[in-house]
Structure 1
Amino acid sequence: MVIKLYQQLALALGTWVIRLRISAMKLRPSKQSIKAGARVIDTAEMYGNGNSEQLVGQAIQNLDRKELFIIDKVLPNNASSDQLPKSLDASLARVGTDYFDLYLYHWRGGIPLPETVKALQDAQNAGKIRHWGVSNFDLADMKELLSLPGGSEVAANEDLYNLGSRGTEFDLQSWQVNQKIPFIAYTPIAQGDRFGQQLTTNRTIQAIAEEHQATPYQILLAWTIRSGNVLAIPQTSDPIHAAENVKAGDIEFTEEELELIDNSFPKPTNKQPLDIL
């Protein structure tokens, strides 16, 4: 039986659901987050043209690799049977590890999906990745993936999701729960003001933050992971915010608070195009 991402996280990290994404060209925040308790790190060959992966390698020096859960991603143009192994080896070398816990197909490109799936399976069989998944896939993409040979081995799908971008709630998230495929949210606090909605200055968010003695950013992050079915990737270049992100996992909302948030930021009532950054 395939070990899904949630099970792997439970074995390695307990109930940890907030993670660090390293894409900025600064090392201090990553070390601050790890010190605060973050043990799941998300990076990609695309971030800083490999420099982000090098920062990850520096940040995890002198740490027990078995206590970390490292996620990396391959670009669409590198997702062929010939190029994926080369890109994977280069990423492993930059991070300074023998394997990635999860390796994601960053978004769909021109290479046939069956070829990419086969290349990911080969990498897994070679022991260079523990699990593989996808990113920026909508429901139709996921259904197509599961129809392919080996497609059901997908361990996760990572999409844009936050209070200002709730489209995946309409069908994708519930479908993934039914299929037992973890949903990973990137940009979960929407940089505070995604889509011009001024999330951090919203009166409801500020009032709830005051009630919980938290920051608006912590409330936005806690809301993203409220269901227990979403893993979040908070990103910051501020070490203080990095530590605050970790503490957001302790926030629990009342039904009244969730209703107030829904009134300010309504749930989707129809299918929406997948938001991508």
Structure 2
Amino acid sequence: MRGIRELANKDSGNNPIRREDLFLASGGTDRSQKGMEQRLRDALAYSGGDYLDLFVLEYVCPEEAGDDSGDLVKALELARSWVRDGSVRYVGASTHSHSVGAWLGSLDRGEERDNDNDNDGASSPLPLLDAMMLRYNMGHKAAAEALSLPVCAERGIPVLAFTTTRWNRLQDGHPDWGQRAPTTPECLSFALSASSDERGASAGPDAPTTTEDGAGRPIEIVLHSARDAEELGEGMSCLDSSFVPPTIDAGNRAAVAIWRDYGDLEWNDMDGFDEYPEEQQGTSIL
């Protein structure tokens, strides 16, 4: 862990790094007060800082969900107390279940926010979470779009999408696909455009829609476990305005629609990726 402290304080040229230029996150699966407090102390000690930007309650499972006064909610409220005392800036949670994600997004913190600037007294409850980590990729999108993403969009909870390449399986192609497979940047770009007009048009009337202020675009960050610097550079190219993907025969359709078709092929029989396959039909398991 000593390396984390070094990375958080010096750049590759051994020059000091400003803390405000870093975003440090930690978390764990222990929901006990003792375990969480130890995790926070360890994270602060490892990074050599006074605060974390994000503390994540990791791998929330269906067995923990549904009880608004259970151990998980108490753990989230403990993390919120750290926001109030300044040791943590934001509270998040991660889950592999989009039913759980929808439930997490519905939780309130007991504080209100103004909805507009018209001074009419309108307000709404603030969500308990500041951020959520959810699975989303071309082949694992239906559950997110039916269950968790609409809630996050409505509540204003930004989403960090993980496994956006489906364990690098998507770039390998599919036996029933007659065109080239997507590149890593295209997989990442697809996740970042999760609530585009193209997606919304094909997902039905209840799907979140894109608005000028970004509502309906809850996925703001994608996580990518690059294996080396070259792979990292390739992935990050999707953020470059000059990025031009290889051509694909999309006809009159946008490329994102083509990749939706690609993701609609049967994948789970090949890789067993979907832990809760019934959610892919839009059915909550809670």
Question: Same fold by TM-score, threshold 0.5 exceeded?
Answer: yes
Amino acid at match of 2:193: R
Q: Number of paired residues?
A: 209
The residue aligned with 2:13 is none
How many Å apart are 1:229 and its aligned residue?
Answer: 3.1
Amino acid at match of 2:226: T
Percent of counterpart pairs with the same letter? 15
Change (3 A) 1:100 1:262: same
Aligned: 1:263 with 2:217 = no
Contact in 2 for aligned 1:131/1:155 (Cα 8 Å) = yes
Alpha-carbon distance in structure 2 between the residues aligned to 1:115 and 1:128: 18
Q: TM-score, normalised by structure 1?
A: 0.65
Contact in 2 for aligned 1:222/1:252 (Cα 8 Å) = no
Contact in 1 for aligned 2:105/2:128 (Cα 8 Å) = no
The residue aligned with 1:242 is 232
Contact in 2 for aligned 1:81/1:118 (Cα 8 Å) = no
User: Which of 160, 180, 198 does residue 184 from structure 1 map onto?
Assistant: 160
Instruction: Give unmatched runs, 5+ long, in structure 2.
Output: 11-16, 65-69, 111-125, 195-216, 266-278
Please give the per-residue CA displacement for 1:226-266, whole angstroms capped at 9, x wherever unaligned. Answer: 24531101111211111222211235888421221122222
Aligned: 1:132 with 2:91 = yes
How many Å apart are 1:112 and its aligned residue?
Answer: 0.9
CA-based RMSD of the aligned residues comes to 3.0
- Aligned runs of 1:75-114 on 2, under 5 Å? 75=29, 77=30, 79-108=31-60, 112-114=71-73
Q: TM-score, normalised by structure 2?
A: 0.63
Amino acid at match of 1:56: I
Which structure carries more relative contact order (alpha carbon 8 Å, separation 6+)? 1
The residue aligned with 1:171 is 147
Contact in 1 for aligned 2:109/2:128 (Cα 8 Å) = no
Alpha-carbon distance in structure 1 between the residues aligned to 2:102 and 2:140: 19
How many Å apart are 1:185 and its aligned residue?
Answer: 0.6
Q: 156-165 or 146-155: which moved more?
A: 146-155
Contact in 1 for aligned 2:98/2:147 (Cα 8 Å) = no
Contact in 2 for aligned 1:113/1:145 (Cα 8 Å) = no
Query: Equivalent residue of 1:82, what SS?
Result: helix
Alpha-carbon distance in structure 2 between the residues aligned to 1:84 and 1:99: 14
Alpha-carbon distance in structure 2 between the residues aligned to 1:104 and 1:89: 14
Alpha-carbon distance in structure 1 between the residues aligned to 2:227 and 2:109: 41
Aligned: 1:218 with 2:221 = no
Change (3 A) 1:149 1:155: closer
- Aligned runs of 1:1-277 on 2, under 5 Å? 51=1, 54-62=2-10, 63-75=17-29, 77=30, 79-108=31-60, 112-136=71-95, 138-140=98-100, 142-143=102-103, 146-147=106-107, 149-150=109-110, 152-166=127-141, 167-193=143-169, 198-202=170-174, 206=180, 216-227=183-194, 228-230=217-219, 231-250=221-240, 251=243, 255-266=253-264, 270-271=281-282
Please give the per-residue CA displacement for 1:71-122, whole angstroms capped at 9, x wherever unaligned. Answer: 22222x2x22233112101111112222111111112376712320221022
The residue aligned with 1:25 is none
Contact in 1 for aligned 2:99/2:284 (Cα 8 Å) = no
How many Å apart are 1:182 and its aligned residue?
Answer: 0.9
How many Å apart are 1:269 and its aligned residue?
Answer: 6.8
Change (3 A) 1:256 1:149: closer
Change (3 A) 1:239 1:118: same
Contact in 2 for aligned 1:205/1:219 (Cα 8 Å) = no
Query: Equivalent residue of 2:59, what SS?
Result: coil
Structure with greater Cα Rg: 2
